[in-house]
């Protein structure tokens, strides 16, 4: 178990809600430094049954020790909740939630890297009007190319959870399957940059946000307080 890395973290996060400068931190108005209740082993087992794999270890211990969602990087963490069609991550209590993710979708193989290579190759094959005898032939070819591009782009999401909305369509993903399991990747597709690794696992990502936020609250001048 990795519960030790979360010692005191819930209390530190909740204390930030009382800090006079906390609302000046980016994303604070999205989550208000509120945390959902911690989850128990029964809930986690049910979630993992839907997921089809065990949760990443550090994220699982976070859910047990810190909270199910809420305060976190950018506009806050999505929360796993049960529903009629199974478990899914939803923006409970968030002003700016990310895209919901079902556990069944998150449990699929994560192959974003391989798909990005295929997308990069496909980009070089975009049909050009000069190569076609008629406008209709060009439009048909381009529609087929565009449909394939969208299919591959959408498939990059499988095997991961949309965990935190960054703003302007950018999102932080938590990988649930494969060799990158437990890592945070960033969805940079609005800038046509694909889905890329952040270089951090979940614990590094969350704890660095908390430490950075505490430092920012102390560094902000008093006249920046609302």
- The arithmetic mean of pLDDT across residues 117-144, rounded, is 93
Residue 222 pLDDT > 90: no
Provide the pLDDT for residue 194. 84
Residue 46 pLDDT > 50: yes
Asked if 88 and 81 count as a contact pair (C-beta separation under 8 A), the reply is: yes
Residue 116's pLDDT band (cuts 50, 70, 90): confident
Q: What share of the chain is helix, strand, coil (3-state, %, to 5)?
A: 45, 15, 40
Provide the pLDDT for residue 221. 66
Asked if 88 and 102 count as a contact pair (C-beta separation under 8 A), the reply is: yes
DSSP letters for 154-223: HHTTTTEEEEEEEETTEEEEEE-SSTTTTEEEEE-GGGT--EEEEEEEHHHHHHHHHHHHHHHHHHS-GG
Provide the pLDDT for residue 55. 98
Q: How far apart are CA 130 and CA 106, in angstroms?
A: 42
Please write the tens of the pLDDT for every residue from 72-114: 999 999 999 999 989 999 999 999 998 999 999 999 999 988 8
Buried (b) or exposed (e) across 57-75, using 16+ Cβ within 10 A? ebbbbbbbbbbbbbbbbbb
């Amino acid at each position: 178990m990795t519960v030790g890395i979360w010692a005191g973290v819930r209390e530190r996060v909740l204390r930030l809600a009382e800090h006079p400068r906390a609302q000046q931190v980016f994303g604070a108005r999205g989550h208000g430094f509120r945390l959902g209740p911690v989850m128990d082993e029964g809930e986690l087992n049910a979630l993992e049954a839907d997921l089809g794999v065990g949760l990443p270890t550090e994220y699982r211990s976070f859910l047990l020790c810190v909270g199910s969602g809420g305060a976190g990087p950018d506009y806050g963490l999505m929360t796993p909740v049960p529903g009629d069609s199974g478990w899914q991550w939803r923006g409970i209590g968030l002003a700016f939630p990310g895209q919901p993710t079902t556990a069944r979708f998150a449990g699929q193989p994560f192959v974003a890297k391989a798909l990005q290579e295929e997308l990069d190759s496909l980009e070089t094959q975009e049909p050009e009007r000069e190569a076609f005898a008629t406008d209709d032939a060009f439009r048909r070819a381009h529609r087929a190319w565009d449909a394939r591009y969208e299919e591959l782009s959408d498939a990059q999401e499988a095997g991961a959870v949309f965990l935190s909305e960054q703003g302007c369509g950018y999102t932080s993903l938590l990988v649930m399957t494969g060799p990158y399991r437990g890592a945070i990747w960033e969805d940079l597709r609005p800038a046509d940059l694909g889905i890329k690794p952040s270089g951090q696992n979940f614990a590094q990502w969350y704890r660095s946000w908390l430490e950075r936020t505490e430092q920012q609250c102390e560094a902000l001048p008093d006249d920046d307080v609302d």
